[in-house]
Structure 1
Amino acid sequence: MNSITDAEVARSTEKLLPKWDEIPQEFRNGNLYTRVADAHLHDYPLPGVSISFLPGFENEGAGEALDRCITAHLNAFAVKHEHKMAAVGYMISKICKVTVV
């Protein structure tokens, strides 16, 4: 997450997006994590969820780093929308635990 530069946030990047065939099927079909990515992309709240960082990611500044990482990848136009949403949802699942409350 911390490798995302200001230029990548401004112009986008694909550098951390996994290839389509590396993304588990449950993310390709859509799930809670891809809904979080979609909410972030369209800037709307996702009520009724709790998001917590997984061990190793809960350091100070992790929220800002995650936001920068997600934003930079969601703004990428070089990959299909479905790939981008599945990949970002998968990335979120590797960093955070999202649960319905």
Structure 2
Amino acid sequence: MAYSLSLADVGSITEAELEHSTVKFLPKWEDIPADFRTGNLYTQLAQARLLDYPMPGISITFLPGFDDERACMAIDRCITAHLKAFAPRHEHRIAGVGYMISQVCTITEV
């Protein structure tokens, strides 16, 4: 089954999930495309967010429906809640969150 992430999904993150973490929208390892498992701009962004590293040299364009301030805040909450999780191994979490990010925006190098 194809993985997708909707605005309703990202907007459903609770305060408890934000504080303690969740994996409810993290795609299964086998549903994550190979280029996310080996690393790309999306996974680099996920890694930078997790480790609080700067991510220079990229441009982010949110997809239609995810491009207003309220949606961007929900996306940030969703990504943060999933990056805090300790349940999946690190590689799965970074690849999965990178893939989640790709469902809501396009990242290009500048």
Same structural fold, with TM-score higher than 0.5 when normalized by the shorter chain: yes
Aligned counterpart, 1:69: 78
Deviation at 1:60, TM superposition (A): 2.7
Q: Deviations over 1:23-42 (max 9, x none)?
A: 00000001000000001111
Is 2:13 aligned against 1:4? yes
Identity fraction in percent:
62
Deviation at 1:45, TM superposition (A): 1.6
Task: Answer whether contact 2:29 2:96 (CA < 8 A) is retained.
Answer: yes
Q: TM-score, normalised by structure 1?
A: 0.96
- CA distance in 2 between partners of 1:7 and 1:31 (Å): 30
- CA distance in 1 between partners of 2:49 and 2:72 (Å): 13
* RMSD value, Cα: 0.8
Deviation at 1:84, TM superposition (A): 0.3
Q: TM-score, normalised by structure 2?
A: 0.89
Runs of at least 5 residues in structure 2 that lack an aligned partner in the other structure: 1-9
Aligned counterpart, 1:47: 56
Aligned counterpart, 2:34: 25
Runs of 4+, deviation exceeding 3 Å: none
Aligned counterpart, 1:78: 87
Look up the equivalent residue of 1:11 and give its one-letter code.
H
Aligned length in residues: 101
- CA distance in 2 between partners of 1:77 and 1:44 (Å): 19
Deviation at 1:92, TM superposition (A): 0.2
Runs of at least 5 residues in structure 1 that lack an aligned partner in the other structure: none
